[in-house]
Amino acid sequence: MAGRSGTGSGGRLFFNSEFMGTVISLFNHKGGVGKTTTTLNVGAGLVELGKRVLLIDLDPQANLTLSLGIPRERYTIYEAMCGESELVPYEAKPGLDIVISVLDLSGAEMELVNEPGREMILRELLEPVVNDYDYVLIDCPPSLGLLTMNALTASHYVLIPLQTEYLAVQGLSKIKQVVDKVRFRLNRSLQIGGVIATMYDSRKVLNNQIVDLIQKYFGDQVFRTMIRENVALAESPSKQKDIFSYQPASNGAEDYLALSREILTRFEDASVQTPST
Ligand SMILES: Nc1ncnc2c1ncn2[C@@H]1O[C@H](COP(=O)(O)OP(=O)(O)OP(=O)(O)O)[C@@H](O)[C@H]1O
Ligand SMILES: [Mg+2]
């Protein structure tokens, strides 16, 4: 049931207001590590905990959009990024809105290449809607292109999902480097908000070794909750539901609820700064 929601916030300013939603990018340039699954189910977990959440599908693969079964509507993130519309959220379920994506978005990086301030577009688009939500979660594509730069420039925090397998740790220094560069050039208050171990299987020795390695590298930035490998999480996109609507008694639901609680504790204790150049 898609319908327009999340209308303007009466001119409160994204950059200066004390009362504003927290914007979080789910980022890892490596593919298939659980970014989309985590965006969807942390978003839904925060809704379970009484928060109002906006998801932004910033990936031309549109997996997040498809996972919620939102049909192609007239307005997507593509039109907004290209200056043809404002951000238009659709309601996925009460408390959970989404700005949908579409394959055309893959052309946006080329189309915007000569646009002045091209890394700031999403931040500006968020300004009139960010205060309608407690949390805005941005699902990044598996790349380091302009779309990802827009997500990081618009965010207070980056959450990094990491699959607990050998190759997962290969890109860690690159991730830190990119976040540092964006912080220096585009968004002074960007912080790594945490690292999430995904698809974890405690029976696999290798998984445990990788978790040790991640903890050595990121210290207490690693969330205590690890997302276990769980078949219901893999099935739920084909049912076009988040895990709490699909199988609320599954390990997947248990883990994502625990992670959402941990995120709330971590971020609501911290004083959130506004993105600023
Ligand atoms: N905890 C889990 N247990 C089992 N399967 C999972 C789990 N988390 C994610 N998956 C599955 O793994 C695959 C990759 O996950 P997902 O799409 O979330 O990764 P991604 O980082 O968004 O990928 P991409 O980089 O392509 O956008 C999907 O098929 C998803 O259903
Ligand atoms: Mg994805």
Q: pLDDT digit string (tens) for 128-187?
A: 999 999 999 999 999 999 999 999 999 999 999 999 887 777 888 899 999 999 999 999
What type of residue sits at position 145? Answer: G
Beta carbon of 65 within 6 Å of any ligand 1 atom: no
| C-alpha 67 – ligand 2 centre gap (Å) | 10
Question: In whole angstroms, what is the distance from residue 273 CA to residue 22 CA?
Answer: 9
Kindly tell me the sign of the dihedral angle through the C-alpha atoms of 145, 151, 153, 156. Answer: negative
pLDDT at 1: 34
Q: List, for the chain, all residue ranges whose pLDDT scores fall below the cut of 50.
A: 1-18, 272
Beta carbon of 83 within 6 Å of any ligand 1 atom: no
- Within 8 A by CB and 6+ apart from 248, the residues are none
pLDDT at 10: 34
Q: Ligand 1, atom 9: nearest CA belongs to which residue? A: 34
Answer yes or no: is 13 within a domain: no
Answer yes or no: is 6 within a domain: no
CATH number at residue 85: 3.40.50.300
For 39-98, give the DSSP string: HHHHHHHHHHTT--EEEEE--TT-HHHHHTTPPP-S--HHHHHTTSS----EEEETTEEE
Answer yes or no: is 71 within a domain: yes
Beta carbon of 238 within 6 Å of any ligand 1 atom: no
Please say whether the beta carbons of 148 and 187 come within 8 A.
Answer: no
Q: Which domain holds residue 245?
A: 22-269
Q: Which two tokens stand for residue 108?
A: 């946006």
**Ligand 1 pocket: which of 28, 36, 160 to mutate (most atoms <8 Å of CB)?**
36
DSSP state of 131: G
Query: How many folded domains does the chain comprise?
Result: 1
pLDDT at 164: 85
Answer yes or no: is 184 within a domain: yes
pLDDT at 275: 56
Q: Which two tokens stand for residue 89?
A: 């959220």
Answer yes or no: is 16 within a domain: no
Answer yes or no: is 132 within a domain: yes
pLDDT at 177: 94
pLDDT at 12: 37
| C-alpha 116 – ligand 1 centre gap (Å) | 34
Answer yes or no: is 9 within a domain: no
Beta-bridge mates of residue 57: 139
Distances from the Cα of 241 to the Cαs of 65, 213, 231, 248, in angstroms?
11, 33, 14, 11
Of ligand 1's listed atoms, the one at least distance from the Cα of 141 is 27
- Within 8 A by CB and 6+ apart from 186, the residues are 119, 120, 149, 152, 153, 277
- Give the H or E element holding residue 157: strand 157-163
